[in-house]
A and B are shown apart, each in its own frame.
Chain A
Amino acid sequence: MSQSLQAVTGQEYKYGFVTDIESDSVAAGLSEDTIRFISLKKGEPEWLLAWRLKAYRHWLTMTEPAWADVHYERPDFQKIVYYSAPKPKVAKYASMDEVDPELKRTFEKLGVPLNEQAALAGVAVDVVFDSVSVATTYKAKLAEVGIIFCSFSEAVREHPELVKKYLGSVVPFSDNFYAALNSAVFTDGSFVFIPKGVTCPMDLSTYFRINNKDSGQFERTLIVAEEGASVSYLEGCTAPQFDTNQLHAAVVELVALDDASIKYSTVQNWYAGDKNGLGGIFNFVTKRGLCKGRNSKISWTQVETGSAITWKYPSCVLIGDGSIGEFYSVALTNHKQQADTGTKMIHIGRNTKSTIISKGISAGESSNSYRGLVKVMPKADGARNFSQCDSMLIGANCSANTFPYLEVQNRTAKVEHEATTSKIGEEQLFYFQQRGIPSEEAISMIINGFCKDVFRELPMEFAVEATKLLSLKLEGSVG
C-alpha cells in the first residue's frame, strides 16, 4: 500500500498567503525596555506595567520545559518581534465598511463571517489581527444585558478594576515558562464578562490569525462568568505559510462563580509546516479554568489540527463543591507534526466531577501524545472522574502515546480510565472500497465517526467546520 493512503494524507495547507499591511513594529528582542515600550504604546496603567516587569524578572529565572514528548530547536527569544500593530488607514472605524479592504479580503479568504453572515449566524466576532483588535461587533447589543466583550486592551482602559481583580488569578505569571513570557509581553486578546444571572444570548467568537513574519503572538484571554451566568465562547485560528518557525504562547483564563457555566470551544488550524516539517507554528499555550463557585461548570472542547508543535493542556481546577470540569478533544497530526496535548482535572471541592474524552488521530510521520492528569485532593469527598482516550493511526509511520497520570488522595473518589487504539489500514479501506466508497470518503467517514463524541459537544456551525477541516487535512489528490 499504500499509494492511495499516502495521497489522501498528503494534502498541503490551503491558507498559505501573506496579507500586505504596513506594520508598526518594535525591533526584535526582549528586555525591560521592550516591555516598557509595549506598555507605553498601549497606554497602560502603572500597575499593569509593574505586573509585566515582575513576570519578566521571574521568567528570566526559569528554563524551558523539556518533559513534553516533542522535539524542536528552541526558539531564540531575542529574534522575536514582540509588538506589531497594523497601521489603520483611517483612525477609527465607524462601520465595517471602513475596515482595511486588504484585511477584509484576508478574512474572506479564510471564510471568517465578519459582517452580515455573523449577524445571520448569531455570532459576534472579535477579530484579533496581529496582536491588535481591529473590529468588534455586537458590543452594543451585548452591553444591553451588561455583557462586556472587547479586546483586552480596551478592557484595561475601560474596566481596569475587573482586569486587575482577575488577571493572573487562574494562571499566575509564575505558573510556567511560557505563561511567564506571555504575562511579560502580551499585546492583546479578548475579555469577556458575563454579569450575575445573565445567559449570553449568542455564541461569542474570536478568530485569531498570525500574519506578521517573525512576530511572536502572545494573546491573553480572560473570561469571567458571575453567579448563575453562562456563556459559550468560540475560538478559531488559521495562519499563513512561512519558512521560519513562529512561536505562539497564549494564556487563557476562565473564572466561573457559583452556578455559572463557561463553554470554551476551539478549532485550531495553524500552519503546520511543510511535508518535511519546515516552518509551522509552535503552539505553547496555557489554558485553565477555575470552577470557583459551587455547582459551576467549565467545559473545554478543542479540535486541534494545525501547528508544527502543539503543547497544550486546557485544565479545570474544581474548587467549588459540586463543580464540573469537562474536556473534549480531537487532535489530528499529519506529516511531521508533533502534538503533546491533554488536560488536567484538579478536584479540590466535594462531589466534583470531571469527564475527559480525548481522540488522537495520527497520520504521515507525525507523533501524537495524550498527557492528562487527574488529581483528587484529600478533601474532595465523592469526586468522580471518567477518562476515555482513543487513538487512531493512519498508515504505518506515525505514532500515538497515552500518558495518564492519576493522583488520588481521597478514598471516596472514583476514577475511571479507558483507552483504545485503532487504525485505518489497508483492510479497513478495502472494506469501504469493496462497497463502492472511494478511499478519501472512507477516511473521512471513519474519522468523523471516531470523533463523534467530541463533535457533538461543539456548537453546530463549528461542528460543520470541524468536520470539513478534518477531511481537508486528510483528503487530497486521490483519483
Chain B
Amino acid sequence: MLSIRNLTAEVNGKEVLRGINLEVKAGEVHAIMGPNGSGKSTLGKVIAGHPAYMVTGGEIRYEGKDLFELEADARARAGIFLGFQHPIEVPGVSNAQFLRLAYNKQAEANGREELDPLEFDDYIREKIAVVGMRPEFLDRSLNEGFSGGEKKRNEILQMAVLMPKLAILDELDSGLDVDALRIVGEAVNGMKSKDRAILLVTHYQRLLDHIPAERIHVLSGGRIVKTGGPELALEIEKNGYDWINAEVGA
C-alpha cells in the first residue's frame, strides 16, 4: 500500500529526512519509534503533504501511484489520514459540521453518496459511541477548549468517520490517561482490517500495549536505523534509545 524509497526532505532549509525506506502492506500495523527530534513526526507530515516540508529526493508510492502528484487535500480524499499530535482549535465551527464536510468531500471524490445533516446524524451517532463520547461533543466548536485527551479522541472519531486506508497516528498516547488510552486503543483495534494499514508514531512502548504493532522501526537522525518485531519496542522501553544509536554509530 505504501512504499517509500530513499526519501529525503527539508524544512526551512534544514534536512530532516535523510533517506527513508519503508514498506507497509494493507492489513499491517507498523510503529515508528525514536527519540525527540528524530524526524518521526516529520515523516507523517511529508506523507500527508504538509506544505512546509520540501521533498528533496526519493519517492513515495501509495497504492502503486506517485503520491507527490497529489495535493494534501487530494491525498486525504484518496484515503490517507493523519491523526495530529496537536489538533488545531477552530472557534465557531461545530465538530459535527466539520466532520460532515470532511465526510462528504471524501464521499464525493470516491463516488459515494453524500449525507445530509439528518443522515449524517444517524451515521455519526454510531461512531461517537466507539470513542466513548456523548452527543453534546458534536455540537461543540472543533477542538475549542477540549482537553488534551478529548482532542485525541476527536482525532480517532474523525478516523472512524472517514475510514481511511492508511492511518498515520502521531503521538496518539500523549495527553491521554490510562482509561482514555484504553478506549482509544480499542477503537483503533476495532478499525483494523485487511484493507487498512496503520502507522503508529510514538515515543513510548506503552501505546503498543494497547495497539500491538507487528513491525517496529526506529528512526534516528532522519533515517530508519533499526527494524524489528514487537520485542524491539520492549527493549527500547527497558534500555532507551542510546544503545541503538551506539550500535549503528549514529
Residues of A within 8 A of B101 (CB): 437, 441, 445
Q: Does B248 contact A (CB under 8 A)?
A: no
Chain B residues near A434 (CB-CB < 8 A): 48-49, 72-73, 76, 81-82, 84
Of B77, B90, B102, B162, chain A has the most CB atoms within 10 Å of the CB of B90
**Contact residues of A between 447 and 469, Cβ < 8 Å to B:** 448-453
Which residue from A427, A435, A439, A449 sits with its C-beta under 8 Å from B141? A449
CA A437 – CA B101 in complex, angstroms? 7
Given that A434-B76, A435-B98, A435-B162 are known contacts, is A451 also in contact with B92, CB under 8 Å in the complex? yes
A436 & B90 in contact (Cβ 8 Å cutoff)? no
A244 within 8 A of B: no
Q: Which residues in A have their C-beta under 8 angstroms from that of B87?
A: 431
A435 touches B88 (CB 8 A): no
B88 pairs with A431, CB closer than 8 A: yes
Q: Does chain A have a CB within 8 A of B178?
A: no
Q: Which of A414-440 contact B (CB under 8 A)?
A: 422, 426-428, 430-439
A449 partner residues in chain B, CB cutoff 8 A: 90-93, 141
In residues 64-100 of chain B, which contact A (Cβ within 8 Å)? 71-73, 76-77, 81-82, 84, 87-88, 90-93, 97-98
Pairwise interchain contact A436-B109, C-beta atoms closer than 8 A: yes
Contacts of B52 in A (CB 8 A): 1, 426
Interfacial residues of chain B within 201-243, with CB under 8 A of chain A in the complex: none
User: Is B50 an interface residue when CB atoms closer than 8 A count as contact?
Assistant: yes
A408 adjacent to chain B (CB < 8 Å)? no
Contact: B98 with A445, CB < 8 Å? yes
B51 in contact (CB, < 8 A): yes
- Confirm or deny: A95 has a beta carbon within 8 angstroms of a beta carbon on chain B: no
What is the minimal beta-carbon distance from A291 to any residue of chain B, in angstroms? 30
A436→B73 contact, CB < 8 A: yes
In the complex, the answer to whether A1 meets B92 with C-beta atoms within 8 Å is no
B104 — nearest CB in chain A belongs to which residue?
A436
**Residues in A whose Cβ lies below 8 Å from that of B97:** 445
Contact with B along A7-24 (1 / 0, CB 8 A): 000000000000000000
Return A28 CB to nearest CB of chain B, in Å: 47
**Is residue B106 contacting chain A, with contact meaning CB distance below 8 A?**
yes
What residues on A are CB-neighbors of B51 within 8 Å? 1-2, 4, 426, 430
Please, which residues of chain B bring their CB within 8 A of the CB of A432? 73
Q: What is the bound-complex CA distance between A427 and B87, given in angstroms?
A: 9
Do B76 and A436 have beta carbons less than 8 Å apart? yes
The interface residues of chain B lying within 8 Å CB-to-CB of A441 are 101, 105
Query: Which B residues are in CB contact (< 8 Å) with A427?
Result: 88
Contact of A436 among B92, B93, B106 (CB under 8 A): B106
Q: Kindly list chain B residues whose C-beta atoms are within 8 Å of the C-beta of A445.
A: 90, 93, 97-98, 101
Cα distance A98–B241 in the bound complex, in angstroms: 85
Contact A438 B73 (CB under 8 A): yes
* Complex Cα spacing A448 to B72, Å: 23
- Residues from 393 to 425 in A contacting B, C-beta threshold 8 Å: 422
State A428–B72 Cα separation when bound (angstroms): 13
Closest to A430 in B: B50
CB distance from B14 to the nearest CB of A (A): 17
B42 within 8 A of A: no
Q: Is B41 an interface residue (CB 8 A)?
A: no
A446 at interface by CB-CB < 8 Å:
yes
Complex Cα–Cα for A426 and B49 (A): 12
Q: Is B8 an interface residue (CB 8 A)?
A: no
How far is A446 from B93 in the complex, measured between Cα atoms in Å?
A: 7
Among A428, A439, A450, point to the contact of B92 (Cβ < 8 A): A450
When the two chains form their complex, are residues B105 and A436 in contact, meaning their CB atoms are under 8 A apart?
yes
Residues of chain B lying within 8 A (CB to CB) of residue A450: 91-92
Report the nearest B residue to A442, measured CB to CB.
B73
A434 to B71, CA, bound (A): 10
CA distance A430 to B87 in the complex (A): 11
Query: Would you give the shortest CB distance from B72 to chain A, in whole angstroms?
Result: 4
Whole-angstrom CA separation of A422 from B89 in the bound complex: 10
A446 to B90, CA, bound (A): 7
Which of A4, A430, A445 neighbours the largest number of chain B CB atoms within 10 Å of its CB?
A430
Is the pair A448, B105 in contact by a Cβ cutoff of 8 Å? no
CA distance A18 to B71 in the complex (A): 40
Q: Which residues of the other chain, B, contact A1 by a CB distance below 8 angstroms?
A: 51-52
Residues of A contacting B162 in the complex (Cβ-Cβ under 8 angstroms): 435-436
**Nearest Cβ distance between residue B94 and chain A, in whole angstroms?**
8
Proximity string of chain A (212-232) to chain B, C-beta cutoff 8 Å, 1 when within and 0 when not: 000000000000000000000
The CB with the most chain A CB atoms within 10 A, among B49, B72, B105, B158, is that of B72
Specify which of A4, A426, A445, A450 lies most central, judged by the most chain B CB atoms within 10 Å of its CB: A445
Contacts of A426 in B (CB 8 A): 51-52
Complex Cα gap A428–B143 (Å): 12
Q: Is the pair B92, A435 in contact by a Cβ cutoff of 8 Å?
A: no
Alpha-carbon gap, A4 to B73, bound state (A) = 12
Distance in Å from the Cβ of A189 to the closest Cβ of chain B? 35
Tell which of B49, B91, B158 touches A435, judged by Cβ atoms closer than 8 Å.
B158
* Chain A hits for B106, CB < 8 A: 436
Contacts of B93 in A (CB 8 A): 445-446, 448-449
Contacts of A446 in B (CB 8 A): 90, 92-93
Least CB separation from B74: chain A residue: A436
Among A431, A435, A452, the one with the most B-chain Cβ atoms within 10 Å of its Cβ is A435
Residues A433 and B84 in contact in the complex (CB < 8 Å), given A1-B51, A449-B90? no
Complex Cα gap A438–B104 (Å)? 12
Q: Which residues of A contact B102 (CB under 8 A)?
A: 435-437
A1 to B50, CA, bound (A): 10
Chain A residues with CB under 8 A of B105: 435-438, 441
Nearest Cβ on chain B to A40's Cβ, whole angstroms:
53
Q: Report A-chain residues with C-beta under 8 Å of the C-beta of B48.
A: 430, 434
Binding site for B on A (CB under 8 A): 1-2, 4, 422, 426-428, 430-439, 441, 445-446, 448-453
Besides the known contacts A433-B49, A434-B76, A441-B105, 10 further A-B residue pairs in the complex with CB atoms under 8 A apart = A2-B51, A428-B88, A434-B48, A435-B98, A435-B102, A435-B162, A436-B76, A437-B102, A446-B93, A451-B92
Q: Can you list 6 A-B pairs with a CB-CB distance of less than 8 A?
A: A2-B51, A430-B72, A431-B87, A436-B76, A437-B102, A437-B105
Per CB-CB distance, the 4 closest pairs between chain A and chain B, nearest first, are A449-B92, A449-B93, A435-B102, A436-B76
